[in-house]
Amino acid sequence: MDYKYLIVEKKPHGILLLTLNREKSLNALNSEMLKELHKFFARVEDDVRCIIVTGAGKAFVAGADIGEMANFSASEAYDFAKLGMDTFMEIERCRVPVIAAVNGFALGGGCEISIACDIRLASTKAKFGQPEVGLGITPGFGGTQRLSRTIGPGYAKELIYTAETIDAKKALEIGLVNSVYEPDELIDKAIEMAEKIARNAPKAVEYSKQSIVNGSQTDIDTAMQIEKTHFGLCFATNDQKEGMKAFLNKGKTEFKGK
């Protein structure tokens, strides 16, 4: 599939490196790019085990496209927010883990796309923030909801109300990112993590993701039900049988994803 704004590279072990590529506008998200992203995440092929998302040039994503939004009516703005939210839901619900390799500015919609990903790794050059209220708008691609769920309401409210930008060190301190690396190490470190994920049983990783994502959005009893169901489903896979047999025989197994 050919994309205008996305570069998709296949790496070994079922890993995809997805580069958001609208470099002149610091990868700002316009409708066309969001539609491409939606299409990409809705059609992840069976052999894919992990996806890494990064940005071309000096930015990860500098937000939603301000030029496109500037003259929106209220109903056009609503539709744009819906497109962004639906797109980021595809990322959150993607069958495989998605790692954000945040190489630079992750502002507004850029911070929001990173928190729709499962894990965030940052370069020392990364900068995070929700500058929307400084433009006279609220976050609109899920930021008011996902940021609280990721770093807790205290820091989420501080970032959103002050519109301040924070560096990678502060992002690490408040739990917005898992690790910080030198810029030239970032992608290698993301691939290293993706390879660790790809070595494990794909169905078990998928069911774990579904339990975490769906469970975190419901009450504890329903969440435990979700986990029980997925735990049970693992025992209908060949990988569970092979994985446990290999452990008991002190051997190793290559998981097949079945």
Amino acid, single-letter form, for residue 192: E
Helices 31-42, 74-92: axis angle to 10 degrees equals 30
- In angstroms, how far is CA 246 from the centroid of its own chain? 32
**Choice from 140, 168, 191, 193 touching ligand CAA (CB under 6 A):** 140
The reply to whether 227 belongs to the active site is no
The reply to whether 173 belongs to the active site is no
105-107, strands of its sheet edge to edge:
59-61, 105-107, 127-129, 165-167
With CB under 6 A as the rule, give the number of residues binding ligand CAA. 22
Told to check if 123 binds ligand CAA by CB under 6 A, we report: no
Residue 113 vs 191, nearer CB to ligand CAA:
113
Contacts of 218 (CB under 8 A, 6+ apart): 226
Residue 111 vs 191, nearer CB to ligand CAA:
111
Q: Give least dist CB 5 to ligand CAA, A.
A: 13
Told to check if 91 binds ligand CAA by CB under 6 A, we report: no
Contacts of 189 (CB under 8 A, 6+ apart): 101, 121, 179, 181
Q: Give least dist CB 35 to ligand CAA, A.
A: 15
Q: Give least dist CB 227 to ligand CAA, A.
A: 32
Strands 15-20 and 6-11: antiparallel
Q: Which of 112, 173, 195, 242 is catalytic?
A: 112
Scan residues 186-245 and list those touching ligand CAA (CB under 6 A): none
- Per-residue x/- mask for ligand CAA, residues 32 to 71, rule CB under 6 A? ------------------------------xxxxxx----
Q: Give least dist CB 185 to ligand CAA, A.
A: 23
The span from the CA of 135 to the CA of 141, in Å, is 15
Say whether 165 sits in a helix, a strand or coil: strand
Active site residues: 112, 132
